[in-house]
Amino acid sequence: MNTTFFQLLSGMVVSVEIFLLTLLFSLPLGLLVAFGRMSKNKILQTIVKIYIAIMRGTPLMLQLIVVYFAPFYIFGLKISQGYRFVAVIIAFSVNYAAYFAEIYRAGIESIHVGQYEAAQVLGYSKRQTFCRIIFPQVVKRILPPITNETITLVKDTSLAFVIAVAEMFTIAKQISAKQASVNALMVAGLFYFVFNYVVAYVMEFFEKKLSYYR
C-alpha cells in the first residue's frame, strides 16, 4: 500500500512540474508571439501566423513526438533519457504559447485607440504606455480565457505518457494493470479534479482582485 502511495505521489509531482514549467515559459513566450502577430513587418507576421496555425492545427501528442524524436532523425543526435522531460516542457510551452498569444492579441486589440493617443499627449513612451496603461487592463480582460487554457493544461499533462514520461496518469495506469483494479485510476481522477479546482479558485481570486465593480 505504501509503495503504491509513493508511486502515485511521484507521478503527482511530475504532473505539477509539467504544469508549472509550462506556464512559466509559455505565458511570456505567448506575449512575444502576440507582438510578432501584430507586427507591421509582414514577413515576421506571416511567420508567426504559420507557427500559430501549426500549433493550433495539429495534435499536441504529435508535437510531443516530433520534439522528442527530431534531434535524432534530423540531426543524428543521441537522445538521452533525461531529454524526455525536457521535450515535454518544450512541446507544451510552444503549443500553449500559440494559444496564449491569440488571447493576448485579442486583449490588446480590445483596448480603445484613444488610450494610446491620450498617453502620447501626456508624454508617455510606447513602452510606458503599454506597461503602465494597456497591459494592466489587458490582464483583467484575458483572465477568463487564460483560466480555461490553464485548466485544459492540467488535463493535458497526462499526454506526457506518449514519450514515456511517468506522470500521474501513466503511473496510475501501470498500477491498475498490475493490480487488476481501477482504484489507482480513481485516485488519478480525483487528483486532476482537485488540481483543477485549486487552479480555478486561484484564478477566480485574481479576477475578483482586478474587478472594477467590487
CATH topology of domain 2-209: MetI-like fold (1.10.3720)
Alpha-helix runs per DSSP H in 38-133: 42-57, 60-75, 83-109, 113-121, 126-128
DSSP structure string for 134-169: IHHHHHHHHHHHHHHHHHHHHHHGGGGGGGT---HH
| Range name among 46-60, 96-110, 156-170 with the lowest pLDDT average | 156-170
Confidence bin at 186 (pLDDT 50/70/90): confident
Which range has the top average pLDDT, 53-57, 76-80, 158-162? 53-57
Instruction: Give the tens place of pLDDT for each residue, 145-158.
Output: 999 999 999 999 98
pLDDT for the residue 24 = 96
Confidence bin at 2 (pLDDT 50/70/90): low
Residue ranges covered by each domain of the chain: 2-209
